[in-house]
Structure 1
Amino acid sequence: MTLTIGYIGFGKSTTRYHMPYTLIRDNIRVKTIYNHHRKPELEAEYAQHQIEFTDNLDVLLQDGEIQLVSICTPASTHYELAKKALQNGKNVLVEKPFCTTSEEAEELFELAKSKGLIATAYQNRRFDSDFLAVKEVLASGKIGDLVELESHMDYYRPEAPDSDGEYYDGAFYGLGVHMMDQIIDLFGRPEEVSYDIRSVRNPKNPDDTFEVQFFYPKHKVIVKTSHLVNIPYPKFILHGTKGSFVKYGIDQQETCLKAGVMPGDANFGIDPESHYGTLVYVNENNETVQETVPTPLGDYGRLYDQLHDAILNSTQKLVSDNETLTNMTILEQGFTGKNPRVISL
């Protein structure tokens, strides 16, 4: 069965992170793209795919063939657009952050439930190659019981243009939302969270630096981003009762997409061997073993595969409502008081 979808928004999110994956799938049809301003030159690049383009939102929302609306617009518009789509009988996939408040998210989930529809967050980084490597290491049990996990997404971007954006336009909502979803996927809701969220390069801008720590009964997780890191940290560091795992280098899909290398092309998303993770652990014979862990191949399109089955075959959706609401709560609480601080969840 084919899933027919429409996109709201025709910017970088749609053209770089969504359509390269949906256009190569035989069981997905991209029928219509709405943007408030038409982009004829960009539209011409997709002529071979027979996509309809419109600046009239009702054309998309009232099309009975479209089953899923993927919303790829600024965060401040997510709630209203998702609500309109649901009211018109469409399942919705919403770019990050899902909404700007937990209250908005709860309302959308209740509306979707009342209409027998799916509303879900675009957490494509559940299919990052580095995260898949972490899941493999944890599943192997070789490091024993986890004691600490550290996740980084750092850059060196010393120049910071003036920006008067809202709290949800900063790095915590933009990057932290993905990093925290990975942790929630692994371990669920933490008991306590500590925050240190700042704007380091330009105090007038939304945040560009954060360190958030999740406290679970037997382990701790550190999620950290800075735009002033010129010697890279490992992407992931894991320590357990029997061993440790260190992985340098972020998933290569985004790098390939920026370079014009598309899904299906040779070498798309392949991690260089120099970035393979290192696993050191004590085995059952009390011997210290060191292993190189090849990086699995990431594929953001798998999110659409899963959503296809959830809509057409009634399978469970990838990101549960509770997981999204946990994420939204942690994001919101980061801006409700003075930083740094610790709160209980």
Structure 2
Amino acid sequence: MRIIQASKIGNQDWNYFQEKTELKNPLVLVFGNRFLLEDTSIINAIRQEFPYENIVFGSTSGEILCCNVNDNSISITAIEFENGSYVVERENILDFDKNAKKLGEALYNKIPKENLKHLFVLSEGSFVNGSSLINGLENKIDLAVSITGGMCGDDARFEKTIASYKENPKEGEVILIGFYGDTLEISFASFGGWVPFGPERIITKSQANILYEIDGQPALDLYKKYLGDKAKELPQASLLYPLTVTPVGKNEPVVRTILKINNEDNSMTLAGDVPVNSRVQLMMASVDGIANGAHIAAEYAMKNRKNAPEIAILVSCIGRKLVMNQRVEEEIEQVREGIGEKIPMTGFYSYGEMAPFNGSTSCELHNQTMTLTLISE
């Protein structure tokens, strides 16, 4: 595996992290600020600097490269596989009447199945139901194939996210990358570090990822009551106080971030499904708790590996970034300490993370976690 990484901040020149050399048919991952990715001149400059066919673009809430977290930047990681291979497919949620499950099924059907080892998802993050997308992808999946990935971000604006494969970035895109080959070793993990507080309640009315009532009361009213003065800052304030949701029949809770609120019907739209009769509780976090959570994620991802990873893809939640503020790079340093100082790292801050629970193969949508995908060949 050969890797070339570069970043561009503002009007500065490209900053390369390895020697700039020509690669053979690399997978090029471009993570960047949404406004920069909407600038045609910047996209042209990226294509000129990295004149390759298979370029995947995604907007972020912060770019991760090496051990740095940048804002308003472009980060690029080009990966040349020497033994393994990859296939990239795309669909647009607007072509499926915003039905994420059908889109997921269509995407999985397009991906070749022979020697498929792992799937990585880069999804629109504003209005795709991440849980439904995963359900569609896993509807007919081989149990030996694992899924990780993330939902694109737009800083803390929640206006729109963009992504693309080969084309210029646009709204509604969902990208699926399939990794192939017996020589590939891919491990993953996801961990939060948030702590629940307050009484545990029951979801009494919901539809997919829209939450209407908790304990028979309007969900938004109850949530505002807990937030107090911070309720005026919704939905951004919800990133600091997400919900932990435990569906009936599940032992492991998932964390759900609120993407938008509706004051007319007192509902909240979350990043993934919130089934009726699920147990729900508010959560909060400290900087040290989040940093330690990132270290635990790294330990889990490294636990059963046979070989050292050659690239690490990090997807962390915008809520973690807001809590950590100027100390945000501490969680990246914790990952680096756990996986090895010399392992190239790339990734982004997201509106949702995708990975199985530790010890499981079935993918889940998470919020407020550090999610790692470690690859070697």
**TM-score, L = length of structure 2:** 0.30
Q: Between Structure 1 and Structure 2, whose CA radius of gyration is higher?
A: 1
Identify the structure with the greater strand proportion.
2
Relative to its length, the structure with more helix (as a share) is 1
